[in-house]
Structure 1
């Protein structure tokens, strides 16, 4: 009878130790995952901030493809539209400019915009609003 009680006691102790060790390992793994997630979040945040800074500074770099006085910041789905020649009074052409840094690539919407522009599927629409006349 005592042997059975000791056996049950050992099993219960082993079971409880297993639970404690398992919870410790789970907590340790969760802390490691949390630390990695925070590191990744900081890395992504820096990449976004660097991209935004690059978008704002790019027009003033020497190799920028347009005159900074002739561009308009749009942001989405393209960063800038350049009205080339506008500062001289006559627009010669229009450029859509997307700023990228590092190994970043065009988003799906940016890719379709590029495709539409390259296929010259562009329209000019004059839309008039007149609230005063009946």
Structure 2
């Protein structure tokens, strides 16, 4: 009978130990699950951050590549356009100088004087034939279909149309007395 009591006691001890073992095992599993979930959440956040940074880097890189491709493509167009504009300007300037020699130019080319800016030509009509000027004509030459006067050219045109034109003579003396006056600030 003692044997049965010892066996029963041992059996009860094994049951208590098994109960404690299963409780501790449940706690360990729960703690392990919590640690795993916490680790998994951090890993997900790290992966999301990495993805975000990688997407940003890739989009920046793609934008740089697209910009560089656009720049290289457009650089040729810009250079071509600049050459065309430069040729157009040069052609216009040459035309301004040569216009007096065209057959349909209404004045004697010898009477024309090229200024370039703010007006292209001043015509002293009649100067070369009889040394008698009938008219002084200001001429602005425009090439191209949509060539308009600049602000300065319009201002000159309006001034001439309003009759605000003058003529005067400046006498410059290079003798010593004039230089002395100039040095004293009296001229």
Aligned-residue offset at 1:52: 1.0
Q: Which portions of structure 1, spanning 4 or more consecutive aligned residues, are displaced by more than 4 angstroms?
A: none
CA distance in 1, matches of 2:94, 2:112: 17
Q: 2:119 aligned to 58, 72, 78, which one?
A: 78
Structure 2 Cα separation of the partners of residues 77 and 15 of structure 1 = 55
Secondary structure at the counterpart of residue 17 of structure 1: helix
TM superposition shift of 1:10: 6.4
Distance in 1 (CA, whole Å) between partners of 2:139 and 2:56 is 65
* 1:73-98 residue CA offsets vs partner (Å, 9 max, x unmatched): 11111111111111112111100111
> Where does structure 2 lack aligned partners over 5 or more consecutive residues?
1-38, 178-187
Are 1:113 and 2:143 matched, yes or no?
A: no
The aligned runs of 1:1-134 (5 Å cut-off) are: 4=43, 7=47, 11=51, 13-87=54-128, 88-102=130-144, 103-132=146-175, 134=177
Count of matched residue pairs: 134
When normalised by structure 2's length, the TM-score is 0.63
Shift of 1:46: 1.7
Task: Report the 3-state secondary structure (helix = DSSP H, G, I; strand = E; otherwise coil) of the residue aligned with 2:164.
Answer: coil
The root-mean-square deviation of aligned C-alpha atoms, in Å, is 2.3
Q: How many Å separate the matches in 2 of 1:113 and 1:16?
A: 58
Determine which structure has greater relative contact order: mean sequence separation of CA pairs < 8 Å that are 6+ residues apart, divided by chain length. Answer: 1
Name stretches of at least 5 consecutive residues in structure 1 with no aligned partner: none
Q: Relative to total residues, which structure has the larger helix share, 1 or 2?
A: 2
1:9 deviates by: 9.0
